Structures are given as structure tokens and as C-alpha cells.
């Protein structure tokens, strides 16, 4: 089946012509876009042979993944994408430097939030937490001497760990 474009040329009605990802992506968070890009990439692989069906589209998807993730803390994944796109064996040193910085920051947050992490791993503490955030903060402060900086550090730690 084909349709006629405004310029009089025939367009083939293929699933690619109805692909919504380019229209949706500007309105989505990167955590929602990435799985969609992974799915799109998986559709380009022949299930029986494992061969890529459209090299050009696969490269475009990898370029989109790289652009999406290059500012995140997924340093190894981004470095692998960079190497694949540039045809390199080894990633440039800046990826190792970025990885060291990420792990340093993670270690710092783990150290700062160790007491709170330990407390939240204890059943007796967790069972005393309520749905009221203010009451929980007071409980942790008064009964377990958890300071505001430790609670704030724990929030940063979770943010970093989940990025």
C-alpha cells in the first residue's frame, strides 16, 4: 500500500513512517526515553541470526543514546557508546577521570549517610516510622541523633545512586 505525498511522489506506508519516538521524546524525561531507544534498537536485530537489519538506523539510535546519556553518571556505558560510534578500542582518559569522580562522590555520600542507612536497615526503627514526614524527621533526630545534614546527604546519595 502506498500514499501520495503533497509533492506528488508515492510514499510507502511502512511502520517506520508511523514511528512516534521522535514526536514523544522532547516531552519525556531521559529515564523514560532510554528504554524506548533500547526497544527501538532491539527491533533492528534479526531474532534468528542476531544481525542488525539497518546499520544506519542502529547508528542513529546509538547517537541518540549517547546524546541522551553523556551528561549522566553512566560513565562506562557512555564510554562504550563513544567507542562504538568513533570506532575506538579504548575510551579517552576523560571517561576514566569522570568515573573516578563519580565513585569518589558515591563513597563520600556513603560515608556521610552510613548511620542513617544502618538505621533504615533495622526493623525496629522502620516499624516506628509513620506516614508523617515531619514526625519521622523528629523521631530520627530525637531518638537516634540523626542530623539534618545526614538526612540531606542521604537524599543526595539516593539521587546519585539512582542516576
> When comparing pLDDT for 112 and 68, which is higher?
68
**Which three cell numbers mark 85?**
560510534
- Determine which of 59-68, 97-106, 154-163 has the lowest per-residue pLDDT on average: 154-163
Q: Answer yes or no: do 60 and 122 share one domain.
A: no
CA distance 46 to 29: 29
Task: Give the CA distances from residue 18 to residues 15, 80, 123, 142, in Å, rounded to whole numbers and listed in that order.
Answer: 5, 30, 51, 58
Q: Answer yes or no: do 58 and 118 share one domain.
A: no
CA distance 8 to 95: 50
Q: Is this structure's pTM higher than 0.85?
A: no
CA distance 43 to 16: 11
In a domain, 101, yes or no: no
Tell me the backbone φ, ψ of residue 113, rounded to 5 degrees: -110, 10
> When comparing pLDDT for 25 and 49, which is higher?
49
In a domain, 83, yes or no: no
At residue 154, does pLDDT exceed 60? Answer: no
Q: Given this model, what pLDDT does residue 148 score?
A: 62
In a domain, 16, yes or no: yes
Whether the CA torsion 118, 120, 126, 131 is positive or negative: it is: positive
Instruction: Report the range out of 125-129, 149-153, 158-162 with the highest average pLDDT.
Output: 125-129
Total structural domains in the chain?
2
Domain span including residue 54: 1-69
In a domain, 99, yes or no: no
Amino acid at each position: 500500500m502506498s500514499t501520495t505525498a503533497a509533492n506528488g511522489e508515492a510514499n510507502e506506508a511502512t511502520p517506520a513512517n508511523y514511528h512516534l519516538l521522535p514526536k514523544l521524546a522532547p516531552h519525556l524525561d531521559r529515564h523514560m526515553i532510554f528504554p524506548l531507544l533500547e526497544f527501538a534498537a532491539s527491533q533492528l536485530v534479526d531474532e534468528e541470526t542476531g544481525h542488525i537489519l539497518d546499520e544506519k538506523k542502529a547508528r542513529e539510535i546509538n547517537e541518540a543514546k549517547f546524546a541522551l546519556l553523556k551528561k549522566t553518571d553512566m560513565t562506562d556505558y557512555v564510554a562504550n557508546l563513544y567507542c562504538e560510534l568513533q570506532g575506538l578500542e579504548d575510551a579517552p582518559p576523560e571517561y576514566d577521570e569522570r568515573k573516578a569522580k563519580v565513585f569518589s562522590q558515591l563513597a563520600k555520600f556513603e560515608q556521610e549517610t552510613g548511620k542513617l542507612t544502618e538505621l533504615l536497615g533495622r526493623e525496629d526503627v522502620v516499624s516506628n516510622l509513620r506516614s508523617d514526614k515531619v514526625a519521622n524527621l523528629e523521631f530520627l533526630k530525637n531518638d537516634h541523633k540523626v542530623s539534618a545534614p545526614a538526612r540531606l546527604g542521604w537524599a543526595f546519595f539516593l539521587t546519585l545512586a539512582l542516576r
